[in-house]
Amino acid sequence: LWGVINNASWAPFGEVEWVPFKVYKQATDVNLLSVIRITQIFLPLLRKTKGRFINVVSIQGRVASPFKSPYCIVKAGVEAFSECLSLEMRKWGVDVVLVEPGNYTSWSGCTDEELYGQARQMWNEMSEEAKARLW
């Protein structure tokens, strides 16, 4: 095995107060913990071949953005994990490469309708008390 590409990406959007905790947990599971788990599984094989990990992250891991905290947080985590992994793997000759594509929503096919749908679902799940504070 010469390489592993980690490209997990699920991008929920919404204001912090709108986003249920379960959405943060799912974003963490999909975007960060899956990268760590796949890396742990394939690391022994890549160490033998002096291969490489390619982790696709996002510029959103370095640049905070309103309505995108679940995504920004986990992509920052993948950035930090990748940098730590790179330092640890240097002695084994295993490369760790970060790829940071730009504007996710324009090339992903994610439509305004889908984004509004996410927002609507989060609003509907919010308590009446929280809605009253915001509205």
Mean pLDDT of 55-59: 92
Confidence band for 86, pLDDT divided at 50, 70 and 90:
very high
Q: What is the CATH number of domain 3-134?
A: 3.40.50.720
Burial 44-81, CB ≥16 within 10 A → b, else e: eebeeeebbbbbbbbebbeeeeebbbbbbbbbbbbbeb
- Quick one: pLDDT at residue 10? 86
pLDDT interval class at 116 (50, 70, 90)? confident
Decide if 105 contacts 58 (C-beta within 8 A): no
User: What's the whole-number mean pLDDT along residues 49-68?
Assistant: 91
Question: Over 70: is that where the pLDDT of 53 sits?
Answer: yes
Q: What is the mean pLDDT of the chain?
A: 88
pTM greater than 0.85 (yes/no) = no
Element (H, E) at 36: helix 34-49
Arithmetic mean of pLDDT, 87-108 = 83
- pLDDT bin (cut points 50, 70, 90) of residue 112 is low
Alpha-carbon span 34 to 90, nearest angstrom: 22
Residues with a catalytic annotation lie at: 71
pLDDT digits (tens, 9 = 90+) for 63-80: 888 888 999 999 999 999
Which residue in this structure is represented by tokens 């913990």? Answer: 33
Q: What is the reported pLDDT for 102?
A: 72
Q: Domain ranges for the chain, please list them.
A: 3-134
Residue 100 has pLDDT above 70, yes or no: yes
Is the pLDDT confidence value at 107 over 60? no
